[in-house]
Structure 1
Amino acid sequence: MNGNSFISWVLRSPLHGFLSDGMMLITFSGQKTGKKYTIPVGYFWKDGCLWILTSRNRTWWRNLQGGAVVDLLLKRKQVSGFAVTEHDEENVAELLVVYLAQIPQAARGLKVQVENGKPNTEDITRLAKERLFVRVGLAGQCKE
């Protein structure tokens, strides 16, 4: 069982509680094949939207370009949403600051220096070139 399979299993199980506050499963269709894919992703909330940070080098998010309906297993409940990608480096940088304010322990893994609670601007600029966000709106909750 690989890491994604194990995390997916935990998120579907009664043991999900220790992961569900920051991880969920997202199911989407491949743009070319129509095949369904389910992967575990980390998330955080901002303005009623779920935001997923991912690497620009990954390929899964490309299926969401232009917007796509997705299914989520969120805290062991099935919900549907609409996902769009956020590529703009300035917007990504702003979201990274919010993300690190909510999840400060992520700074170390992302190699972002933090002084007096503020992330290093150069680190954020570098990271915005490497990462992007996926915004998932749930019915009636996401403020654009």
Structure 2
Amino acid sequence: MAKERVVPLWFNRVMKLVLRIPLLHRVVSGNIMLLTYTGRRTGKVYTIPVSYTQHGNTLTMFTNHNWSKNLIDKVPVTLRLRGRLLKATLDFNTTDVEQITPVLLEHLRNKPADARIHKVTYDDTGKPKAAEVRRAAGNVRMIRLKLV
């Protein structure tokens, strides 16, 4: 899994602050949430901002970083989602390109700002380029959480 940092650390720090401030969070909380989990080995609590897509009680996100290994079945995580603290559990965690590609394509159609993170560009009709989405799908892990 690639470890290249596309989103600078300073940006993550700013997002963590913005998402905790009641009036400011509205600007970005439709696209970014705070995910709080406990490290498997360290027992340390981490909070990170992540981009997500929501369908009902299911939240889907993509990452190329190792934090996702800390999400274990039935172990709840805490989310700050649209200003509310909620609990969720792991539903799905995969690196399967065939499963990731169509979901990432839909995510990028709805969240075009994430295209830069995944190094995907858009064609003349405004759709993400399929070959680039497939390449990006090979570099990420797809995670689905269920709200509880």
Q: TM-score, normalised by structure 1?
A: 0.83
1:86·1:135 contact (CA, 8 Å) conserved in 2?
Answer: no
Deviation string, structure 1 residues 57-111 (Cα, Å, up to 9, x no partner): x121111155631100111111000024222111111111110121234334433
1:78 aligns with 2:85: yes
Matched, 1:54 2:63: yes
Segments ≥4 residues shifted beyond 4 Å: none
Q: Report which of the two has the higher share of strand.
A: 1
Structure 1 Cα separation of the partners of residues 75 and 103 of structure 2: 21
**Alpha-carbon distance between aligned partners in 1 of 2:20 and 2:56, rounded to the nearest angstrom:** 26
2:134 to 125, 130, 135: 125
Counterpart CA distance in 1 for 2:146 and 2:35 is 13
Runs of 5+ in structure 1 lacking a partner?
140-144
Aligned to 1:135: 144
How many residues are matched? 137
Structure 2, unaligned runs of 5 or more: 1-8
Per the alignment, in what secondary structure is the counterpart of residue 68 of structure 1? coil
Change (3 A) 1:37 1:108: closer
Give the direction of change, closer, same or farther, for the CA distance of 1:126–1:9 in structure 2 (3 Å limit): same
1:35 alignment counterpart: 44
SS in 1 for 2:18: helix
Single out whichever of 66-75 and 123-132 deviates more from structure 2. Answer: 66-75
The answer for the alignment partner of 1:142 in structure 2 is: none
Structural RMSD (CA): 2.0
> Could you tell me whether the CA contact under 8 Å between 2:73 and 2:89 is conserved in 1?
no
Q: Distance in 2 between matches of 1:62 and 1:31?
A: 8
Scaled by the length of structure 2, the TM-score of the pair is 0.81
Which deviates the most, 111-120 or 91-100?
A: 111-120
Distance 1:118 1:12 in 2: 33
> Is the 8 Å Cα contact of residues 33 and 52 (structure 2) preserved in structure 1?
yes
Identity %: 33
- Once the two structures are superposed, the pairs formed by residues 64-103 of structure 1 within 5 Å of their partners are 64-66=71-73, 68-83=75-90, 84-103=92-111
